[in-house]
Amino acid sequence: MDAFNDEPIIDLRRYDDREHLLLASFATHSRDSLGRIHPEQDHSYRGPYARDRDRILHSSAFRRLSGKMQVFTGEMGIYHRTRLTHTFEVSSVARTISRVLRLNEDLTEALALMHDIGHPPYGHCGEDVLDECLADVGGFSHNQFALVIVQQLEKRYQAFDGLNLCRETLGGQDIRANKKAASVGRSPGLEIQVVDAADSIAYDAHDVDDALQLGLLSIEQLADLSIIRRALDAINHANGSVPKQQVRQLLVHELIDLQVSDLINQNGELLLPLQGRSSEDLSEAGLRLHHSPVLEAERNELERFLFDAVYRHERLIPVREAAGKRLLVLFEKLVANPERLPMRFRQRADHFSPAIATGEYLAGMTDNFCDRQFQQITSLASGPLADW
């Protein structure tokens, strides 16, 4: 207690005091955490989710995201996004939304940094190939593989495998991995929903940017879409007439701003009368964050357009097919010859199956590392391939 009045003293160095002061009642509060599978002592000033964020940031799987392409695989220049830059964009958008809605920014950031950590090499085509290769053992999902990485494959501690993250952080990723199960009745915690929304906002905007930069699309083609017209109007209104070469940068900025503002406006109002309710109350009531109906329709229109005009662009197809072929050859040769897997994956092949261990080994590779292992396995060289 304060000596001069009856108010309890708030010590902002303590994370539970900070959260008590800054977060809404319906945020995920660290003091309510269900803890870690292997109990650890509390840290004096870093909250449990801030520690999770740091563990993910310092993991080797996180660093490998810099060598994994998002959409544009192969020799297509160095401008476009990698999984790492995409992840930082998602994290930045998600933290902005989380802070304004008074949610737990540390948990949001941990979830955002982890959300794509399980992606295989070669973008979406890598995922499709692995999913087919592993069809007999349940297929491949990068969301599920992220959990294998943080719970089994990362090594940080002597006593156990994995990063020993909090149950809420693992639970958030688990909901991404098992979306259908989560959609019945209950809704995911708001921090999880914010990361989901930020992921989709970020990739729509940067796929537009990358596709324009690579010359797969023109501004004129895009201007038929309602959301793009709205963004271009806002740009012209704020800047007067803009030189054509600057429109692309301004457009990406405006597309993100427009969607983030819409989400905050829609849900800020929705959440205002719910102050006093807990995160659990809102999940039980099935509360879902949403865009305005107008923006939702515009986003759908943009995504349909990008799917046809970019993801299935004729310049991407041969690059993807060649990359997919390399992955397939590696998979088939390693499943037939598991002695060529690096030691720890040979052990996993004995424990699980050669197909599962091979899938994990391939999924952890960067694009370049995968290219090199392909050369190795199709050469006359023998012996195990390199570990990542």
Contacts to Mg ion by CB under 5 A = 116, 199
Residue 199 or 367: which CB sits closer to Mg ion? 199
Minimum Å distance from CB 273 to Mg ion? 32
Cβ-based nearer residue to Mg ion, 80 or 340: 80
Long-range pairs of 351-357 with CB within 8 A, sequence gap ≥ 24: 353/137, 355/133, 355/134, 355/136, 355/137, 356/134, 356/137
Q: Do residues 87 and 112 make contact, with C-beta atoms less than 8 angstroms apart? A: yes
Q: Which of 199/209 has CB closer to Mg ion?
A: 199
At closest approach, how far in Å is the CB of 83 from Mg ion? 8
Tokens of 275: 């102050």
Residue-wise DSSP of 224-283: TSHHHHHHHHHHHHHHSS--HHHHHHHHHHHHHHHHHHHHHHHHHHHHGGGBTB-HHHHH
Q: How far is the CB of 205 from Mg ion (least distance, A)?
A: 12
- Contact by Cβ (8 Å): 285, 190: no
Exposed e or buried b per residue across 285-307, where buried means at least 16 C-beta atoms within 10 angstroms of its C-beta: eebebebeeebeebbeebeebbe
> Which residue from 189, 154, 176 is spatially nearest to 52, judged by alpha carbons?
154
Q: Which is nearer to Mg ion, 199 or 262 (CB)?
A: 199
State which residue, 127 or 199, has the beta carbon closest to Mg ion.
Answer: 199
Query: Nearest Cα to 100, choosing from 233, 264, 288?
Result: 264
- The sign of the CA dihedral 261, 262, 267, 273 is positive
Task: State the nearest-atom distance from the C-beta of 202 to Mg ion, in Å.
Answer: 7
Q: Toward Mg ion, which CB reaches closer, 102 or 142?
A: 142
Taking the complex as a whole, the smallest distance from the CB of residue 198 to Mg ion amounts, in Å, to 9
State the minimum distance, in angstroms, from the CB of residue 116 to Mg ion. Answer: 4
